[in-house]
Chains A and B, each alone.
Chain A
Amino acid sequence: MIKPLQDITVLDFTQFLSGPSASLRLSDLGARVIKVEHKYKGDLCRSIYASHLNIAGQSGFYQGINRAKESLALDLKEPDDFAQVKAILPHADIVLHNFRPGVMERLGLGVADVKAINPNAIYGEITGYGHEGPWRDRPGQDLLLQALSGLAGLSGDESSGPVPMGLAIVDNLAGAQLVQGVLAALYAGEGALVQVSMLEAALDFQFEPLTLYYHDGEPVDRGRKNAAHALVGAPYGLYKTQDGYLALAMGSIPFLGELLNCQPLLAFTDAGRWYAERDAIKAILAEHLQNQCTAHWLSILEPADIWCAEVFNWQQLIAHEGFAVLDMVQEVTSFGGRYLTTRCPIRLDDQLLTQPEGGPTLGQHNSALRAEFTGIKPERIHHD
């Protein structure tokens, strides 16, 4: 298979999560990613997470998101180091950063500076809140974006207060949107400026609840029983059973009443009321479903084509054949050993996009990159 981005070079100044998730995807699709890191501290993600898991002396998260990238450790304020960046720039097809507004310009790497050296480069950036307005200098951190964009008002139920989604969703989405814009520019074959802010990505993610809000002006109401989606009526939710949890997505309420032998549900014959009366319906379901185990309910609901599933944790999922057939795990080799991680979720021509290399140690590729782009031969093999 020809990987779509083979021979494409990305000069990647991003750190932490949003930007590196974008360059990871470009790497998965075949691009070469040269990751420029702070000479001594490296990408903040090498150390900032508090999880105790370390892989090859690095944070497990750093290793998860930086596989197959080359690390160039530099101090961009030192002329010699900056000269190395300048030597690579003419060969870069894509330049990425996720600094706050103004930082790249101060470093002499703003879009105008890069274009002066390489007019065909695609310059992609992620900011927290864009280049203007009262929030422009605020930290573009996932939890804060969730709090400001309304996202924290969508999960959990109304008695819980704001509930953030428990993973860095805005980082992930901002990275995904950046990849789309950069790939479109690459297709057009032209130098371009592609900008995504985490705030705009968080709003795009909420296009449905926001559009409904523009339409009726009513505040989001998550409901108070087994809440799972503020805009969807009963039975949509997760329900406790005797031995676990059952997810119920769609289904006619009286039909569910018949199938589950739950008489009180038979009264809810008007489908137009399943949203307005969701708390009452869900309360009946919740009471009823806890009396039997999950497998019992599934054995009734699945044959009747009711959309349902068991709620798994990772242990249960990974033990399941449904997970095994995906071949979702790959083993990669890092400077300090081997580790397991997930692969790119996209399949191309019925093949998996995997890579043998893990994440780099800080400055692992300094010597090789200097030799390649400035002609200065390496004196030592590994670190500078």
Chain B
Amino acid sequence: MSLPLAGVTVLEFSQYLAGPYAGLRLADLGARVIKIERPGKGDACRQLATKNLWADGDSVLFHTINRNKESFAANLKDPADVATVKKLIAQADVITHNFRPGIMQRLGLDYKSVKAVNPELIYGEVSGYGDTGPWKDKPGQDLLAQSVSGLAWVTGNGDQPPTPFGIAVADMLCGTHLAQGLLAALVRKKRFGVGAKVNVSLLESILDFQFEGLTAYLNSDNELPERSQIANGHPYVGAPYGIYATANGHIAISMGELKTLCDAIGLSGLEGFYGVDAQFFERDKIKATLQKHLKNRTSGEWLQMLEQGRYWCSEVLDYEALTHHEAYQLLGMEQTLQRNGASLTTTRCPIRYNGERIYSDKAAPNVGADNERIQQEFAL
């Protein structure tokens, strides 16, 4: 299959998650992504292991997000290496970095300097909180970005402490926004022949994600979101929206008319709450009654009744149940990579292009694995 970004060269100075996630997606879509790494240690993410899991000397986390990339080792504190890297930049389409403000200037690799070498270059920058203001030097870390952004107050029930999303959501969203900005800039370069500087930050990305609630907040009397006391699913959505315990597990009950739900599961006593406003304002009362009722039968029994009554619902799956399910297996979501005898199964690109899934079996590189070839190819 010919991929849409074939012929595009990306130099990735970014480390950890947000920047490399953008690089991963561009690589999936056909770009050639070369990581520029410190000799020896390389991207700090190589040593950042979650659950202490490793493959061929690098953390599994590093492998997942840097597959399908090349590595060029260069010491950016050495002027000779910087000169070499600049020659590479002159021939690249895109570079990305996530150094704290000021560092690229010191290295002579700020936008102005590299634009002089390559006027059509697209220069992508990731920061934690933007490049001005009181937080500009604060570590751009996911949990901290979630915490200052207000996001910790939408998940969990009303009587629970602030609950962060249990995954690096600010990094991931920021990475998608970087990829969007870089891609849009590539489109503009092709149409109008101009380069670009693209800036994203974890905080702006996590605020964009909260656009619904923030728009509500900004235009009301600054009413803060309130999580339901029971089965909170979304602070701005009324009952029954949430996940409920049954006699033998849990089920998810989505949005819809309360009457349809009550008819489907044989629940009486909530007739006074039918209607959109009551479902929102009286949601805790409705949810409490519902929760009590749902404890009486098994998930399977309820799901059958809900499906017959055409009410939106689903089972709740863990990874074991999910990965054994036909619906998952048909996706062909897994791919296996090999490096120096180590084998690693991970996910593929979620986008399908012209009806085809996009796979790549190239494992994440060792530090400097491609120096020789890149030096020759780019005449460095």
Chain A interface (Cβ within 8 Å of chain B)?
2-5, 25, 29, 47-53, 55, 60-61, 63-65, 129-130, 132-135, 138-139, 141-144, 146-156, 160-169, 172-173, 176-181, 183-190, 192-197, 199-201, 203-216, 219-220, 222, 227-232, 236, 238, 240, 245, 247, 249-250, 272, 275, 307-317, 320-322, 324-326, 328-329, 339-342, 344-350
Contacts and interface: CB of A to CB of B under 8 A. Distances in A.
4 closest cross-chain pairs (CB), A and B? A166-B154, A50-B238, A325-B133, A154-B166
Interface stretch (B32-40, B77-85, B214-222, B261-269): B214-222
B219 A339 contact: yes
Given A55-B215, A143-B233, 11 more contacts: A2-B194, A49-B237, A55-B219, A180-B29, A180-B180, A195-B351, A199-B327, A203-B331, A212-B53, A215-B60, A311-B147
B314 interface: yes
B150 to A, nearest CB: 4
Contact of A199 (B213, B331, B351): B331
B218 A150 contact: no
Nearest to B333: A203
A162 B350 contact: no
Contact of B252 (A143, A204, A236, A311): A143
A65 B199 CA distance: 22
B141 A307 contact: yes
A185 B30 CA distance: 11
Given A60-B212, A187-B186, A219-B319, A205 B51 contact: no
Contacts of B294: none
Interface in B123-139: 129-130, 132-135, 138-139
Contacts of B251: 147
B288 interface: no
A200 B331 CA distance: 8
Nearest to B279: A50
A164 B316 CA distance: 10
B4 interface: yes
B285 to A, nearest CB: 14
B64 A208 contact: yes
Contacts of A310: 147-148
Dominant SS among interface residues on chain B: mixed
Contacts of B243: 143, 147, 152, 161-164
Nearest to A52: B280
A150 B245 contact: no
Given A4-B187, A139-B312, A200-B331, A181 B236 contact: no
A148 B29 contact: no
A275 B51 contact: yes
B162 A60 contact: no
Given A4-B184, A64-B215, A317 B279 contact: no
A189 B134 CA distance: 43
26 contacts: A5-B187, A51-B237, A63-B215, A138-B314, A146-B252, A151-B167, A155-B156, A156-B160, A165-B155, A166-B154, A166-B156, A167-B212, A168-B212, A179-B180, A180-B25, A180-B176, A184-B183, A189-B190, A192-B354, A200-B350, A207-B64, A207-B347, A238-B152, A249-B143, A341-B211, A345-B204
Interface string B240-253: 01110100001110
B250 A162 contact: yes
A219 B345 CA distance: 16
B96 interface: no
A238 to B, nearest CB: 5
A143 B149 contact: no
B102 interface: no
Interface residues of B, number: 146
B117 interface: no
A318 to B, nearest CB: 8
B147 A188 contact: no
Contacts of B213: 167, 314
Contacts of B330: 130, 132-133
Nearest to B245: A161
Contact of B167 (A2, A61, A229): A229
Which one of B185, B192, B224, B344 has the greatest number of beta carbons of chain A within 10 Å?
Answer: B185
B328 to A, nearest CB: 8
Contact of A342 (B8, B155, B208, B346): B208
A245 B65 CA distance: 32
Nearest to A139: B312
Given A204-B349, A211-B347, A340-B218, A148 B314 contact: yes
Nearest to B140: A307
Contacts of B250: 161-162
Contact of B280 (A50, A180, A193): A50
B350 A201 contact: yes
Interface in B42-83: 50-53, 55, 60-61, 63-65
Contacts of A129: 327
B334 A214 contact: yes
B65 A207 contact: yes
Given A156-B155, A188-B5, A345-B177, A231 B236 contact: no
B207 interface: yes
B233 A25 contact: no
A328 B209 CA distance: 12
